[in-house]
Amino acid sequence: MAFPKKKLQGLVAATITPMTENGEINFSVIGQYVDYLVKEQGVKNIFVNGTTGEGLSLSVSERRQVAEEWVTKGKDKLDQVIIHVGALSLKESQELAQHAAEIGADGIAVIAPFFLKPWTKDILINFLKEVAAAAPALPFYYYHIPALTGVKIRAEELLDGILDKIPTFQGLKFSDTDLLDFGQCVDQNRQQQFAFLFGVDEFCIQRFINFVVKLGFGVSQTKAIMTLVSGIPMGPPRLPLQKASREFTDSAEAKLKSLDFLSFTDLKDGNLEAGS
């Protein structure tokens, strides 16, 4: 199947979902967030409602609203908006996939269901096929993140013959440290023109990541760091995640300054509120 839009390539930002201090989504800053990505970082492709975006901590209604806001605010500014529509429920995934098509998203991605897990390639592909069929005009991407899903089916194995089952399949977001598996995916699918997005790319700022990993690093800390570097209040994560500690944010800010990564040096205006 041919798609009219150009192939997804280059930098793809996994977006954070900004929230207020009481855990509601802060839609008001998404337009500012788009401008920051495009003008300050040169990023014009985004991945919405994934792990960094706490997609699986949001209700279906909230996920729809977040997707709509990114598509609307990104119009004529972003090249491609990929919406993660994975869920534990097939019906919810299909609903989100249909919605993504309706609002003009550029593609959809799906994580493996991780409570009642698919334990074989064929079962997983059957699940993905049903979601992809709900939005047959959109490019489809598989979001491979076995450390969180517990689904250990190798991406290389999954891709073998996948176009026969999912004709809209266009690529893979690979968030794993198994570089052999990733390399085999690329090497064995050169003729397919798939997009391969590598999601464990911390090596780009290795000194800083090595520093913060020792302090404890995850989605909560990512939100705190994004507030530091962008000046946009990303707010706390949603429960069960806890806010990054003041000790973490102070240490991260000092390290960013020492590495000349931090443009916003005065963040004492209350935009970054950390828990203890």
| Residues facing residue 48 across a β-bridge | 83
On whether the CB atoms of residues 176 and 143 are closer than 8 A, the answer is: no
Distance CA 208, CA 206 (A): 5
**CA torsion sign, 214 to 220 to 222 to 223?**
negative
Q: Side by side, which strands form the sheet with 80-84?
A: 13-14, 45-48, 80-84, 107-111, 140-144, 169-174, 195-198
Strands 45-48 and 13-14: parallel
Find all residues with CB under 8 Å of 104, minimum gap 6, and list them: 71
Provide the annotated active-site residues.
Answer: 143, 173
